[in-house]
Structure 1
Amino acid sequence: MISDKDDTAIVRMVARGIIELGAVARLASFSMPYPRSAQLALDKLVATLLETPGSAPLSVPGLVDWARYRPLKDWPLSIPDDLLTGDDLLISARTGNPSQLCVEWAADRGELERNALESLRRLADDCSTADKYLRHLMFLVERPVVIEQELLKLQDRRLLRVWHRVRDLYEPVPQRYVFRDAAALCSACRFLMVPAEGMGWVCETDDCASYFPDGDVHAADQLFSLPLGLRWFVAHPGRTELALRGSLESRGAAIDHRHDHLVVTWQDDESWVLMTRDRLNPALLARSIGERAADLRADRVLVVVPGNRLVAQPDYREIFARNLPTAASTAELVGDDELIDLASARSCRP
């Protein structure tokens, strides 16, 4: 299991500095004064590399260049192999935005994911019934970005009531997504798009089904988006979770939707807990769910990831298991397709 007796804390600091930089401007065009977290990350990195002459970036823009063009495996730092995932850039070469991996690093042992899940917990507490909570959750998952004027024109009063309840979870579109007072939604996944020089609009999600999907362009002040944590840690895996719910119910399971997991109860009262996540880095995933999984009580605790993650990285399962805290060692990692197979076999039992 990975400890912090290495330079992982520095990578976390850099990731959080990049996230904060990206919150105030496009990473290709930011200017002084720099956010404090970015400057602290640079200072810490330089101090760590004092004995490696000429190896450290000399400025915050230099640090951004490292994050965009230099994979973590090429940084002169002590980073455990389990935390290195292919060409792991902290800034997406395609979008110029903080990459998904950067978001995962920024969330490691921090508040980004925790705050997103806490928002869901408060929403669940505010809803008087499980069905009402599910309607609100589906709204967030299906609409990571809202075109408010179009929504208000709808005659669906139930939908409008949901919007008024979750409205405070949304925020104006960050400036880095705005070009000439316009912003765009991806027509494939409905996440935000990034203005890309010479290429129009590019979806912020690197694994979007459509590589350069057409954008649904609107005046930027008409769009409201979920904050970064809610987009990546709730809406992104939430579609998989809702699809799994339907498949399990069709096989006879009763589903209780908690704020960060599903409780699945079969007809003979056997219970499963499903924690649906979508992470590039299996070691960071194991660390993020380890403490929570240790507190869950069920016959099986299953961590569900998109099956394509396991195909793309054959040692994903092994790295995940190796980095689980001992108290959560019974948690099982499965792909979403494997879960359906497990559920089908379970529902066929006499």
Structure 2
Amino acid sequence: MDQQTITPVAKEKTLSVAPMLDWTDRHCRAFLRLLCPSCVLYTEMITTPAILRGRDPHRYLDFSGSEQPLILQLGGDDPESMARAAAVAREYGYSGLNLNVGCPSPRVQKGRFGACLMREPALVRELLDALAGSGLPVSVKHRLGLDREEDYEGLARFVATVSEGACRHFVVHARNAWLKGLNPAENREIPPLRWDWVRRLKGDFPQLRIELNGGLRSVADVLAVWEDVDGVMIGRAAYHSPQLLAELELALGRRQEGVNLAEVWDGLLAYAAEWGDALPAPRLTRHLHGLYYGHPGAKLWRRMLGTVTPAETALEALHRLHTELHGWRTAVATEVVGE
């Protein structure tokens, strides 16, 4: 397809939370939504076999309406399976579908998907076209390149080839993926960070939606790149210090005042009440360690979370923790409970 014929993307800039395996499950997403009403949320990566051949795909795909807008991230290397998985996902009401072309883990490489697919841009295009057959908006999350390649032109060729198909939305993790010698955690820190390559990509492909991911840990980081791209995606920083999301909304003019932790507590209690006995406490509370990050009393809060047991429901545990916080009658306690 001639790039000059592509209709320019006209959507507003987006603030989103990255898909993070074992972290951004539905309970984490419900919590993050309380802090950031305007964020686009992503599921953990789900493989096509888990949807098509798993015993309980509902366990992977179900979500609460409050999580919207929510994007399902898929992993796989077979277009026909992608098309079938996308048809299943469409029935659940997701806002869009995202293809993982960024994960460098050995397990993912063995399955021939994730970051290693950057070597096969024509296949990536086929996979995205298969997803687009569902009628849902599609996007791809990828790296700058593989291993120690230092080649912007290679990145540009990848984007040009993929964008010849249905995909117009690229979320770029601004580091290479080193497939050998680094584990996934090291791959998020050691390969050089190149925000300038993502800026350049937007300049070279103005008709595409280009979002930046990687190394964004503060409001200042986001504001430094905001005007040059179509959106930013926050990863681990959003999990470890989730109030950063509310601070970003404030800085971007998407809310008028800072987060009200009392309202967050009300939301958590209401969410736990909806689940009742079906939600063991640790499945929710494991995501709350960063709630008071940077506040006096944060260490106390983490110790309190350590007392939660699987025998408690989430609602029981939250009521107990809330009572204990109110019982901590010092000046620090007043700030910690958000009063």
Question: What TM-score bracket applies, with the shorter chain setting the length?
Answer: under 0.3
> What TM-score comes out, normalization by structure 2 length?
0.27
